[in-house]
Amino acid sequence: MSDIPPTSNKTDKRNGIEVDVRALRDLYRALDAHSESAAMAAIAELHPADAADVIEQLSSAQIRALARLIPVVFSGEILSELPDDVCETVVEELNARQIADAIGKLESDDALHLVEELDEGLRAEVLDEVTPKDRAAFENSLLFEEDSVGRLMQRELVALPLFYSAAQTIDSIRNAAADDIPESFYELYVVDPGFHPVGRVGLVALLRAQRNANLEEVMIPLQVTVSQNMDKEDAAYLFEKYDLPSAPVVDEAGRLVGMITVDDMVKVMHDEHTEDLLALAGVSEAGLGDTVWDVVQSRSPWLLVNLVTAIMASFVISLFDQTMERVIALAILMPIVASMGGNGATQGLTVVVRALAVRKITSANARRVIRREMLAGFVHGLIFAIIVGLITWVWFGSLTLAWVIFFAMIVNHFVAGLAGVLVPLGLKRLGADPAVASTVFVTTVTDVVGFFIFLGLAALVLV
Amino acid sequence: MSDIPPTSNKTDKRNGIEVDVRALRDLYRALDAHSESAAMAAIAELHPADAADVIEQLSSAQIRALARLIPVVFSGEILSELPDDVCETVVEELNARQIADAIGKLESDDALHLVEELDEGLRAEVLDEVTPKDRAAFENSLLFEEDSVGRLMQRELVALPLFYSAAQTIDSIRNAAADDIPESFYELYVVDPGFHPVGRVGLVALLRAQRNANLEEVMIPLQVTVSQNMDKEDAAYLFEKYDLPSAPVVDEAGRLVGMITVDDMVKVMHDEHTEDLLALAGVSEAGLGDTVWDVVQSRSPWLLVNLVTAIMASFVISLFDQTMERVIALAILMPIVASMGGNGATQGLTVVVRALAVRKITSANARRVIRREMLAGFVHGLIFAIIVGLITWVWFGSLTLAWVIFFAMIVNHFVAGLAGVLVPLGLKRLGADPAVASTVFVTTVTDVVGFFIFLGLAALVLV
């Protein structure tokens, strides 16, 4: 029935790094046999992250079957470990009560992420099922912009006044009710009477402080505070730059309202990486469980754009049909000019997109980067114009043709260098994501310019 | 003299996220005036990570000038925050004594990273200048493979026996000499008498434990242990998957030898992503301070490979020169077939490379992914073959030509789908990095097949 992976007796030595194929095989069998107990047994022993990895390997139909068979498996951690598209599939098979139960077992940030994924109707039903306190917290969080820190932050944190002693602080952590402090945290924040965070105290520093020292003496003044409206990718950048384990989140008045932690930021970085990489290739979204239809939907829009630009290039070529008819070598050689220019431009483009993503291109150095890319394009043009010129001379025995391709390649590589840097910088300045659409713009430029210069020069010189 | 960025009076509101342009301008002026005190003043107040960002914006010549002017600025943190290429430039201007001083101020993992970057001769000189204890530690670390966890781990950590009570543990952390424990850490490891790690205790759990409870009762059994020989990218994957703040590192005998922390892993993820992105575009390395010559060196090898494949494609076209001479529309239309195939293949390729990088494609689902990509290629082929066929019919008024391009596009998109998934999977199976070289292989296939099918069909049918 389902495609059972080939049996293998060797236990996977790369524990945790590769999917547990044995558990996956057991799960396939349990689903085929509709055995609730066997399905439970297959994943019960696994870490939630490993169980999620195994479940992610199933087809959507199998995931639905699993959710119907043992909904309890999705109550809590496993659900929050699943990628969004899989999570969506599971949630469609659960009722509001079951989803609310799952949410009740998570920390506030993971729980919110689940609630975010629900569509309006179901979300309202689920919110009816959770505690009034949780409900208020969710509704509050959902007021923030979708990709803001406010959506990601957790409200559980430890904040204490400046005059607390180290001993008092330790006692208050020791004696707090389990619900009032996070299960694990790396630093606490010191706040002034207006609840503005002014410093942070790592737990090691707290333990090693004199017992009667005030937090004011023990704390490190805050260098990084994150606003609740900040874009989460900006926050992730700060974590990476300053090696932060966590950061305090403040509202517009600078009051402490939450905390974000490095593990959430690692997820943000991961998603940002995936987005950039896919955007450069013209793919809007990709999940492992995607059907053929999902794939076509997520990729055909950019293929359509590419078709329009390819037709533009063909139109440019058609302007020179008579020239080509007389010198068919032009038709044979023209893809070289376009392809080399396209590749050169893509190289520069990728370097610039990455530098923008890691905030390394600023008003102070943009001009230097543009100059460098232009020059590099020119040098590449010169090198490859010489090689291609010589090849053309030998292949077709025409020195004039060799000179034509020589000049066309220099011009096109120079234009490629320029387009590769100006297009992403321009998109960025317009407030657009430089990774999206850059590739197709830039290769259109190099195709159109490449064909036009090469065939145009030929028309002037050869005919 | 140097290019001073445009003056702006507004203070940068996106503190920390964008480079401090004011400090950069001050630094430019100080360098122009050869003023040691002004250069110091420009960056003295900045966080080392911000100072590094500012310095990274300088040209290599300016960086050298700065290192000669105030070598002391590079002693310690700033040096370890600089990207490798900038760090290399600075180190060339410092003597062994100055480098050794800088190294002495860093934690063992950052210090080792600096030592790694030195060339053999200088490294030996620097190792002569550090303390014998540090020297032994460096030499020990350098025995590990270049990208292994052994190179990254820190040796400072807290490991205690099972029978220690929470109170004893707190006291031992409190009373340890500053050199014996890390300045900051998130969890300690519980070891058996053979020094094998068996559990971890977060500092919050330690603080909240009964004072007389044994660590054995307080600890969480270890789920993830990292081997010193593990590839650092695999370790980073484990951190991301299990949301780890730190992990114990063990030797072949399973004995605890070190610890790696999430901030190091964030750097590894960052570098891995940059590498993948650049590799897909055929760029071997890129730094902001790269000169035109660096750029040409890092990009021309793949441009050369692309030239070879472009000439192959031209050779395929030349086989059909007589056909094209008779039907020049073929020369006009052929780039569409190749370009659409190339784009479709690049989309699939990128999705597969990303899925491999995040370990989502396994023996259990590879067949499903291959099938899906083949089918998606076919569907794309069908959709765009219809569009292009109709356009061709209208444009050139030849139904036969329309049928030729219709079939050529279906075949080429199908081949594109297949190549986009099989090339990266094949490279992975051969032990190569699927991001490197995939693009050029795949687009060669789609170019050659595209031209051959389109012109070959035309030769059979039209002439």
CATH of residue A410's domain is 1.10.357.20
Both A193 and A297 in one domain: the answer is: no
3-state secondary structure (DSSP) of residue B10: coil
What the block records as the tokens of A189 is 């924040």
Determine the distance in angstroms separating the CA of B44 from the nearest CA of chain A, rounded to an integer.
15
Q: Where are the alpha helices (DSSP H) in A248-365?
A: 262-280, 292-318, 321-326, 329-357
Residue B321 with chain A: CB contacts under 8 Å? 328-329, 331-332
Q: Which tens digits make up the pLDDT trace of A157-184? A: 999 999 999 999 999 999 998 888 888 8
Q: Is B154 among the domain residues?
A: no
Of B93, B117, B144, which residue is a domain's last?
B144
Inter-chain CB proximity A17 and B224 less than 8 Å: no
Both B192 and B139 in one domain: the answer is: no
Q: How confident is the model at residue A371 (pLDDT cuts 50, 70, 90)?
A: very high
Both B234 and B125 in one domain: the answer is: no
Residue B339 with chain A: CB contacts under 8 Å? 306, 310, 313, 447
Is the predicted ipTM greater than 0.90, yes or no? no
CATH of residue B186's domain is 3.10.580.10
- Out of B207, B292, B303, the one facing A375 most closely (by C-beta) is B292
Inter-chain CB proximity B234 and A14 less than 8 Å: yes
Both A83 and A127 in one domain: the answer is: yes
- Domain count along chain B: 3
Both A52 and A104 in one domain: the answer is: yes
CATH of residue B103's domain is 1.25.60.10
Supply the pLDDT for residue A15: 60
Residue B351 with chain A: CB contacts under 8 Å? 278, 281, 283, 286
Determine the distance in angstroms separating the CA of B214 from the nearest CA of chain A, rounded to an integer.
16
Residue B177 with chain A: CB contacts under 8 Å? none
Determine the distance in angstroms separating the CA of A31 from the nearest CA of chain B, rounded to an integer.
16
Both A235 and A307 in one domain: the answer is: no
Q: Which tens digits make up the pLDDT trace of B26-74? A: 888 888 888 888 888 888 888 888 888 888 888 888 888 888 888 877 7
Inter-chain CB proximity A224 and B16 less than 8 Å: yes
Both B315 and B451 in one domain: the answer is: yes
3-state secondary structure (DSSP) of residue A17: coil
Measured CA to CA, the distance from residue B403 to residue A253 in angstroms comes to 67
Both A64 and A104 in one domain: the answer is: yes
Kindly identify which residue of chain B lies nearest to residue A183, measuring between CA atoms.
B204
Determine the distance in angstroms separating the CA of B245 from the nearest CA of chain A, rounded to an integer.
8
Residue A363 with chain B: CB contacts under 8 Å? 5-6, 8, 21
Both B414 and B364 in one domain: the answer is: yes
pTM, to two decimals: 0.86
Of B266, B284, B315, which residue is a domain's last?
B266
Determine the distance in angstroms separating the CA of A121 from the nearest CA of chain B, rounded to an integer.
32
Q: Is B102 among the domain residues?
A: yes
Q: Is B287 among the domain residues?
A: no
The pairing of beta strand B159-161 with beta strand A256-261: unpaired
Q: Is A283 among the domain residues?
A: no
Say yes or no to pLDDT of B286 above 60: yes
Q: Is B1 among the domain residues?
A: no
Q: Which tens digits make up the pLDDT trace of A301-318? A: 999 999 999 999 999 999
Inter-chain CB proximity A278 and B351 less than 8 Å: yes
Torsion, CA B418, CA B421, CA B422, CA B423, rounded to 10: 110
Kindly identify which residue of chain B lies nearest to residue A383, measuring between CA atoms.
B300
Q: What is the mean pLDDT of residues A12-34?
A: 77
Supply the pLDDT for residue B15: 60
Kindly identify which residue of chain B lies nearest to residue A233, measuring between CA atoms.
B17
Q: Is A280 among the domain residues?
A: no
Inter-chain CB proximity A47 and B379 less than 8 Å: no
The pairing of beta strand B187-191 with beta strand B159-161: parallel
Percent of chain B at pLDDT > 70 equals: 96
Residue B331 with chain A: CB contacts under 8 Å? 317, 321, 324, 328, 331, 334
Q: Is A150 among the domain residues?
A: no
Structural domain of A101: 21-144
Residue B317 with chain A: CB contacts under 8 Å? 331-332, 335
Measured CA to CA, the distance from residue B223 to residue B290 in angstroms comes to 43
Inter-chain CB proximity A269 and B266 less than 8 Å: yes
Both A119 and A229 in one domain: the answer is: no
Question: Between chain A and chain B, how many beta carbons pairs sit less than 8 Å apart?
Answer: 353
Both A164 and A132 in one domain: the answer is: no
Kindly identify which residue of chain B lies nearest to residue A21, measuring between CA atoms.
B364
Both A375 and A457 in one domain: the answer is: yes
Of A144, A168, A187, which residue is a domain's last?
A144
What is the DSSP track for A125-147?
A: HHHHHS-HHHHHHHHHHHTS-TT
Q: Is B112 among the domain residues?
A: yes
